[in-house]
Amino acid sequence: MLAELVSRGDTVVLSGAGLSTESGIPDYRGPTGRRRAGQPMTYQAFTGDAEARRRYWARSHAGWRHIAGAAPNAGHRVVAELERRGLVGGIITQNVDGLHAAAGAHQVIELHGALDRVVCLSCRARSARTELDRRLRAANPGWEAAPGRVNPDGDAVLDDERVAAFQVVGCPRCGGLLKPDVVFFGENVPRARVDECFALVAGAGLLLVLGSSLTVRSGYRFVQRAAALGVPVAIVNQGATRGDGDAVLTLDAPLGAALTGLLAELDGAASPAR
């Protein structure tokens, strides 16, 4: 049934952290996320507490290599291929890892931003994370840390001693506070970005949710909008989701295998009968 729905075209994909677990990036609430300890950094703590910022940047600096070294998996590649074939007209991703684009997808809205960019909270200048990584290495000669675990947002678990030894750098242009260009907990997604996503959903023939529990309203609102507009919703995820009651189809399965099977089914349906 999923292949039949996707074959009609005009599919909009809504992807979550579960799509990236097969690339070695753990999710928040799925099978790998249940082993995750601690709470993500909030915007309020980051902007209001210098020690919280030091802790964030030390842990993020250690974890950045893990995120930057991740490669797209079969699920990302299938989504990019469906876009190439004209069956997927847009991708809304809750992920900040950049793996949809790395797989070759073009029509991607990064709902929560991306870890490979940095923004200054004073002058709003944006720069590449690679440049910040270079500056942090220069400011912390000899500082090394072997993280025990890396969380979905690149946050690595470090001991207090390594955190205390870490030196943070400011904006090279104005000296202001630097923040990854992602939406923290307690921070709002820019309204224009949300409206762009709503417009995509309104024009969709199918909203296909991939690897999201939809626990957070940030993603679930698009399922609610689709259901209200009569746009069918299909969900592929490991485990139950908040949107299961709104879906015409749910599939509890590993994403890579499920999407590879979907592509094979579409190819089989397109092959001439012998």
Check whether 23 is labelled as a binding-site residue: no
Question: Do 79 and 168 share a domain, yes or no?
Answer: no
- 30 belongs to a structural domain: no
Check whether 140 is labelled as a binding-site residue: no
Question: Do 229 and 243 share a domain, yes or no?
Answer: yes
Strand partners, 207: 12, 233
Check whether 237 is labelled as a binding-site residue: yes
The least confident of 78-82, 154-158, 230-234 is 154-158
> Which domain covers residue 9, as residue numbers?
1-25+71-112+188-274
Q: How confident is the model at residue 3 (pLDDT cuts 50, 70, 90)?
A: very high
Region 81-88: mean pLDDT is 98
Crossing angle of helices 74-84/255-270, nearest 10°?
A: 30
Question: Do 140 and 200 share a domain, yes or no?
Answer: no
Region 172-198: mean pLDDT is 96
Residue 63, pLDDT > 50, answer yes
Check whether 205 is labelled as a binding-site residue: no
- Cα separation of 28 and 41, whole Å? 14
Region 161-174: mean pLDDT is 95
Check whether 151 is labelled as a binding-site residue: no
Region 152-166: mean pLDDT is 86
HSE-up of residue 214 (Cα within 13 Å, Cβ side): 24
Question: Do 161 and 236 share a domain, yes or no?
Answer: no
Question: Do 192 and 62 share a domain, yes or no?
Answer: no
Higher pLDDT, 41 or 246: 246
Determine the 3-state secondary structure of 97 from DSSP. coil
Report pLDDT for 123.
Answer: 98
Check whether 171 is labelled as a binding-site residue: yes
Higher pLDDT, 77 or 142: 77
User: In terms of pTM, does the model score above 0.85?
Assistant: yes
Last residue of a domain, one of 131, 147, 182: 182
Summarised one tens digit per residue, pLDDT across range 6-51 is 999 999 999 999 999 999 998 765 554 444 445 678 999 999 999 9
Q: Annotated catalytic, 76?
A: no
Question: Do 81 and 52 share a domain, yes or no?
Answer: no
The least confident of 22-31, 93-102, 201-210 is 22-31
| Residue in 61, 76, 100, 112 annotated catalytic | 112
HSE-up of residue 174 (Cα within 13 Å, Cβ side): 11
Check whether 224 is labelled as a binding-site residue: no
Report pLDDT for 156.
Answer: 84
Check whether 197 is labelled as a binding-site residue: no
Higher pLDDT, 38 or 181: 181
- Cα separation of 128 and 115, whole Å? 9
CATH number at residue 147: 3.30.1600
CATH number at residue 89: 3.40.50.1220
Summarised one tens digit per residue, pLDDT across range 208-225 is 999 999 999 999 999 999
